Structures are given as C-alpha cells and as structure tokens.
Amino acid sequence: MNIKKLALCKPAIEFLLSQGFEKLYPPQADSIKSGLLDGQSLLVSAPTASGKTLIATLAMLRFLSENSGKIIYLSPLRALAAEKFTEFKKLEQVNLANRARVAISTGDFENIAKNLEKSNVLVLTNEKMDSIIRHGTEWVDDIGLVISDEVHLIGDENRGPTLEMILTQLKQLDTNPQIVGLSATISNSDEIADWLGCKLVKNDWRPVPLSEGVCDGDTVTMGDGDTFEVKQSLRGTPIDLGLQSVKQGGQSLVFAGTRPRSKSLATKAADVVSKTLKKSETVKLATISGRLLRENEHTEMVKTLAELVKKGVAFHHAGLNQNCRETIETAFRSGTIKLLSSTPTLAAGVNLPARRVVISSIHRYDIKAGVNVPISVLEYKQLCGRAGRPQYDKFGESIIVGNGNSEELIDYYIHGEPEPIESKITDDKPLKTHVLSLIVTHPGIKKEEILEFFLQTLGGQQSSKATTKFAIDVSLRFLSNKSLIIKKGKRHAATSFGKMTSMLYIDPETAVYFRDSIQNAIKGKNHSFGFLHLITSCEEFFPKISLRQKDYDNITKMIEDNASQMLESITEYDCSRSLLALKYWIDESTELYISDNLGVESGDMHRMTENAKWLGYCLQKISKLEGRADLFDELVPLGRRVVSGVGAELLDLVRIKGIGRIRARALFKYGITDISTLRKTPEVKIAKIGKIGTTIAHKIKAESQRVR
C-alpha cells in the first residue's frame, strides 16, 4: 500500500514522505484496511520492529486533521516514553487543521503539569495517566484517541493492573475515544480485542526474517531443522555464538540472567572482538571509553566498562547510571560496539536490535519462590524479537543455549504459543489500590456499582462474578478497618486520609504503615535515621537490596549509633543494604565508596534516592494530615539531603545551581557556610577553592544573587 494513496490530508502525506515512508508494511496496511483512518478502534498484534509506531502516527495525523480533542499515548516505561516523545515531537512541523502540540509527563504523581492542559498530544506513562484520572482532571473528557503501547503487559503482576484500570475507564468516556492497542503476539489477542471493543489486526510479518534455534555443544539446530556448527572455546557457548556473528559482519546481543553474568560474558568476548575492529572503529571506541571515565565516578564497574568499550564490547544493566546506559545504547545503535551483554530488562526497554540474539539461559531467578524458574514463552518471544536490524540485516537469528535438551526447547519455545494474558487486577494488593481510587473519583458509590465497574475489567470478564465480588468485599473491609473509607448507608466515600493516599499515588498499606509509625514520633526529637528506616522498609521502596553476611556488623553499629533517632525498636534483621546505602549517601560518601563497600552501583543509588524522595514527601503530607506538622522540620531537610547527598549543614549552599555535594563541602571547609557568606566572598577567592575555576565561580556568584 502506497503512502501517497492514503486518505490523509496533503500536509500529512508530505510529512510522511519527508520521513522516508513510501510504502506500508503488511501490519500497517492491514490496519488501514481495518478502518484505522476511519476512527475504528484496533488491537494490533504484531512482532517487534513490524512498524507499530507508524500505525500510531497515522492515527494521530488522521485525528489532528479532523478533531480538536486530545491524543493520549500510553507507555509502560519512562525510557520508552522519552523515545516516543522525541519521535512525535516532529508532528509539530505538520500544518494540520489542529496543529500538534506535543508534551510528555512521566513522574511526580501529585502535580498535573500545566503544559498538559495546553497540549493536544500527550505522551504519558501508565501510572501518570492513572494519577491524572484520580485527580479528576477536567481535560480527560476531551480525550478522543488513546494509543496504548505494549498492551500485553496487562498480564504483568506489577504494571498490569494499572494499565487495565486506565483502559477500562477511558473506553467508558462519553467521547467514545478511538483506542489503538499495540501488542506483541499473544495467544488470546482476540479476547483482549473483544474486551477493549477493538477490531483485531493480527499479523506475524517482520521486516527482517527471523530464524530461531537452539545450540547444544558445537551444533546449532534451527527451528526448520537446518543445522550449523559453532567453533567452541574456553569462553563458553554464549560468547562463541556472539563472536561468530561479529566475525561475519553482524552485531550480537547476548542476554544474561544476572548483572554479574552480563559483565562476565562481555569480559570473555573482549579480546577476540578487539581483533575484528578497524582502526577507525578503535579510535571511536577510545573516545567513547574516555567519555565514560570523564563523566562518571571511577567505580570498578565504570572502569571495567570503559576498558571493555575500547575493545568493542559492553555490558548493560540497571546498575549502570543513566549516563552510562545512554552512552552504551548510542554506541551499539550506531554499530560501533559489536557485542553487548545485557540483562533481560533491555528487551522491555529501548529498541536495540542486533543481527544475532543469544539467550544464554532460559532460567531466571524468582525472588518470591527463591529458585530459578524457566522464562515464559512470551518473554522468550520478546527477547528474540530483538534479532535483525531493519535496513542493515537481511536476516535475524535468535539462539538459545541448551543443555542436551534442544528438541524440548525447540518444541516449547520456538514452536510454542505465547501464554494467554491473564489479568492480575483482582489480586489482593492491586485491588485495594484501585477500589480506593474508584471510591475517591466517585464519592457516594455503592458496592453494587463498584462490582459493576470491576466486572467490566479484563479480570472481571476472566473471573466469575462471585469471585470478583468476594475479592472486592475483602478490599472494602480492609479500607474501612484502616479508616481509608467510610460507609453511609449503602454508599462509600473516602476519608481525608483515603483521598490523600490515592492522590499521593501510594499503596494503601504503605500509607497505613506510615500513619501508624508517625504516632511513635516524639515531639522535639530527631528521627532522621528512623524515617530512613521507615522509608526503606515499606513495600513500595525500591530497589530493596538485601544484606550480605559481611554487612551485619556494619548495620548493627549503625543502629546502635542512631538508637535515639528510632521510631521503634529494630534489629539488623529488619534492615536492608538500601538503608545502609542511603545513610552513607546523606553522610556524603562517594559513589565510589558506596560501590566498593556495599556493592550498590550508581544506577541503583539514583533510583533509591528518587524513590526515597517521593516516599519522604508522602510521609510529610501524611504527617501534616495527622496533625504532626512539627515533623516537617525533620522531614523537609531529610528529603533535601536525600536528593543532594549532603549533611544538613550544606543544605543552604546546594540550593545554588552549579553547587553540588563536592563543591558545597569544599566551600564549607573554606568558611563559606551559606549563601549569605557566598555573596560577600570575592569571585577571585571562590575560583581558587577546590578547583572551582573562574567560569564556575562567576556563575555561582551570579546565581547566589538570584536565590532568596
């Protein structure tokens, strides 16, 4: 199907052609034939890289040409949302009846940014959209097009219920919005389409043909029965497979089950990959390696990564900070890095295809079960979907490393059907959260109406009415017993505490835990360490890293030294390594020290501080509601210390843009202890402190005049 023949206005067609689109891929053409440009709601079930983003773009162009309402693009992850925002921002160039004004919002669940009201194409995470609905934001009624990416994640235990809740509410809007769901191939896509009120578009076409196989020993057996040999070495089969593809001019993506394994695999590949590099590539890699060292603290992990990058390989996992991850992703995407070893989180994040994908093990460690379990067929399909780079490769290969069980793995994973999506919304934990949010947004709602709403969710359709009713009864009893809701006759309403819990976007159990713990706080006493323990021990805190054997003496001493600050009596068994890390951080330990002594890397540290900042803010709001505004004098500075990683005495200085924890400490040692002293100190003296230099001294001096 030719782009020029689409039923779109001339500016839209010209835009698509300028972006290099001339003909539609089969899934895109099928979507047009199924009524995408007529406002028909669709569920598009197709493999990775089959052009689903263009389907979303076509729907947007059609809507903006004919309507003045809002378009919502829902993404499960911030990284994906950022990618799509960059892509859709180009729509602002197009001269449509209603010019696109594109905005993004992925965090801060209490505040609704003003730019969202003024914009008409909104890229949001699922959680942000849920929060917007809870706040009763008026422009929700103007939504006319909803595009939901990765719809199959409805079956995810953590993210699924929120997405399901949003879609259930959005499809009931009076505007009757067009819904375009974008999904991986799943076995019950027809059921999901029926639930959404969508027409199903199912197509298994890929732009790059995919071959899947299993390697046992030195033989790879493909799904179609063909075989080929791989030269074995002491590096191990996963790397032997990756190296074979690199030597043939491709890139390899090797999936490892754990972070240490991803680093180990990359290390094993380095020396051989380096021998395949051209001189020009070696020069580029040296520059990238230098940037990694220049822009990050020299932890062992960063130094190892920088050394590996010089040789054309890298590892990628959540322990790396954002800067390192983006540097590696860019270098791999450009073809400069030849082999990347990654944990599976990459498969659900940014789009980084490679000619050959190697799945080093089909087992993953299940934290709840405490054992290794086989991955699902759906997860396998997500991993192998990264094989084949459009416009670069004529084929893609995905190879599982087997263990004498190739026939079994071929039958189960390669020829197997992905598992059906099963809703998790009626599970105990998510149901409490979403029953509360429904009551908050519909004050005076009856139990029968709550039941009626949840019967319209996917979970309600997959369970019996009696099962759903029982689960709702359990949630209502908990919410009532914990004073989150009250019942007047047959109607339910949220208490002030319940409403705040929902608006703050925290789990009701966390809110109750915070409220009950606040009652133990003694007026006029410092509870900083107790609050840190409270935050890191609640279920909502992440990442929660367990103590190692060698950490117990450390945490025992920390508890003894801070005993006067506790909200309750605790032992070392009530603590996590995350508590140690956050305490070290606010006491100004460096990322290098925390990495060397606790094994907590900068990526984890960033997520901890971000999460702790949010939970600390929630603690402030609940304290105020409970009549404990006196705790603000502790909680506000503690929150700022968590963000900046400084002692309380440096909080005034770090208010200045350009002064971080290191410069603040250097200034403090020199006698510049606050902004007032900074204003009085001559620039020439500031420039000589801690290698600040003239340029930065001038900037922070000017900034100090602006801050009040």
Q: What is the pLDDT of residues 193-243, one digit of tens each?
A: 999 999 999 999 998 999 999 999 999 999 999 999 999 999 999 999 999
Q: Which CATH number belongs to the domain containing residue 337 in this structure?
A: 3.40.50.300
Q: Which of 352, 380, 414 is the last residue of a domain?
A: 414
Which of 4-35 are b and which e, b meaning 16 or more Cβ less than 10 Å from the residue's Cβ?
eebebbeebbebbeeeebeebbbbbbbbbebe
Q: Are residues 556 and 637 in the same domain?
A: yes
Count CB neighbours of 111 within 10 A: 10
> In this predicted model, what pLDDT tens digit does every residue of 597-647 receive, in sequence order?
999 999 999 999 999 999 999 999 999 999 998 998 899 999 999 999 999
- What one-character DSSP code corresponds to residue 101? -
Q: Where are the beta strands (DSSP E) in 438-570?
A: 445-446, 485-488, 491-494
What average pLDDT score do residues 639-657 get?
95
Cis peptide before 26 (omega within 30 of 0): no
Q: Which CATH number belongs to the domain containing residue 621 in this structure?
A: 1.10.3380.30
How far is 91 from 94, CA to CA, in rounded Å?
6
Q: Are residues 344 and 386 in the same domain?
A: yes
Q: Are residues 498 and 383 in the same domain?
A: no
One-letter identity of residue 109: F
Q: Are residues 43 and 58 in the same domain?
A: yes
What average pLDDT score do residues 308-316 get?
97
Q: Are residues 322 and 220 in the same domain?
A: yes
Domain that residue 351 falls in: 210-414
How far is 59 from 160, CA to CA, in rounded Å?
24
Query: Is 419 among the domain residues?
Result: no
What average pLDDT score do residues 300-305 get?
96
One-letter identity of residue 36: L
Q: Which CATH number belongs to the domain containing residue 664 in this structure?
A: 1.10.150.20
What's the whole-number average pLDDT of the chain? 93
Confidence (pLDDT) at 110: 59
In the chain, the number of structural domains is 5
Taking alpha carbons only, the member of 654, 655, 684 closest to residue 666 is 654
Contacts (Cβ under 8 Å, ≥6 apart) of 632? 620, 623, 624
Kindly indicate the confidence band of residue 372, based on its pLDDT and cuts at 50, 70 and 90. confident
The HSE-up count of residue 310 (CA atoms within 13 Å, CB side) is 10
Classify 41 as helix, strand or coil.
Answer: coil
> In this predicted model, what pLDDT tens digit does every residue of 375-418 receive, in sequence order?
999 999 989 989 998 888 999 999 999 988 899 999 999 999 99
Angle CA(647)–CA(653)–CA(659) in degrees, nearest 5?
100
DSSP string, 598-658: H---HHHHHHHHHHHHHHHHHHHHHHHHTT-GGGHHHHHHHHHHHHHT--GGGTTGGGSTT
Confidence (pLDDT) at 227: 94
Structure tokens at 40: 């028909």
Spell out the SS3 assignment of 127-194.
Answer: HHHHHHHHCCCHHHHHEEEEEECCHHHHHCCCCHHHHHHHHHHHCCCCCCCEEEEEECCCCCHHHHHH
Q: Are residues 393 and 439 in the same domain?
A: no
Question: Which of the residue ranges 103-112, 291-300, 493-502 would you say has the lowest mean pLDDT?
Answer: 103-112
Q: Are residues 630 and 529 in the same domain?
A: yes
Query: Is 421 among the domain residues?
Result: no
Query: Is 691 among the domain residues?
Result: yes
Query: Is 584 among the domain residues?
Result: yes
How far is 238 from 254, CA to CA, in rounded Å?
7
Taking alpha carbons only, the member of 94, 101, 135, 133 closest to residue 118 is 101
Query: Is 623 among the domain residues?
Result: yes
> In this predicted model, what pLDDT tens digit does every residue of 34-77 receive, in sequence order?
999 999 999 999 988 789 999 999 999 999 999 999 999 999 98
Q: Any bridge partners for residue 43, and if so which? A: 181, 200
Instruction: List Cα–Cα distances, 361 to 69, 343, 373, in angstroms.
Output: 48, 11, 11
DSSP string, 561-611: HTGGG-SS---GGG--HHHHHHHHHHTT--HHHHHHHH---HHHHHHHHHH
Confidence (pLDDT) at 668: 95
Q: Are residues 493 and 573 in the same domain?
A: no
Q: Are residues 609 and 561 in the same domain?
A: yes
Cα-Cα-Cα-Cα torsion 518, 523, 525, 526, nearest 10 degrees, comes to: 40
Structure tokens at 93: 């160039």
Q: Which of 414, 438, 463 is the last residue of a domain?
A: 414
Whats the size of the chain, residue-wise?
A: 708
Confidence (pLDDT) at 404: 85
Kindly indicate the confidence band of residue 112, based on its pLDDT and cuts at 50, 70 and 90. low
Query: Is 658 among the domain residues?
Result: yes
Confidence (pLDDT) at 184: 86
Q: Which CATH number belongs to the domain containing residue 451 in this structure?
A: 1.10.10.10
How far is 562 from 498, CA to CA, in rounded Å?
33
Q: Any bridge partners for residue 400, and if so which? A: 214, 359
Confidence (pLDDT) at 390: 83
Taking alpha carbons only, the member of 315, 380, 413, 314 closest to residue 48 is 380
Confidence (pLDDT) at 108: 66
What average pLDDT score do residues 690-701 get?
89
Q: Are residues 360 and 214 in the same domain?
A: yes
Spell out the SS3 assignment of 250-307.
Answer: CCEEEECCCHHHHHHHHHHHHHHHHCCCCHHHHHHHHHHHHHHHHHCCCCHHHHHHHH
Confidence (pLDDT) at 516: 95
Instruction: List Cα–Cα distances, 71 to 2, 32, 62, 362, in angstroms.
Output: 25, 19, 11, 39
Confidence (pLDDT) at 109: 57
Q: Which of 353, 387, 414 is the last residue of a domain?
A: 414
Contacts (Cβ under 8 Å, ≥6 apart) of 120? 64, 68, 69, 70, 71, 98, 100, 101
- Determine contact, residues 252/245, Cβ cutoff 8 Å: yes
Helix (H) or strand (E) holding 527: none
Confidence (pLDDT) at 348: 66
Q: Are residues 335 and 449 in the same domain?
A: no
Query: Is 423 among the domain residues?
Result: no
Q: Are residues 560 and 636 in the same domain?
A: yes
What average pLDDT score do residues 279-304 get?
95
How far is 466 from 478, CA to CA, in rounded Å?
19
Query: Is 363 among the domain residues?
Result: yes
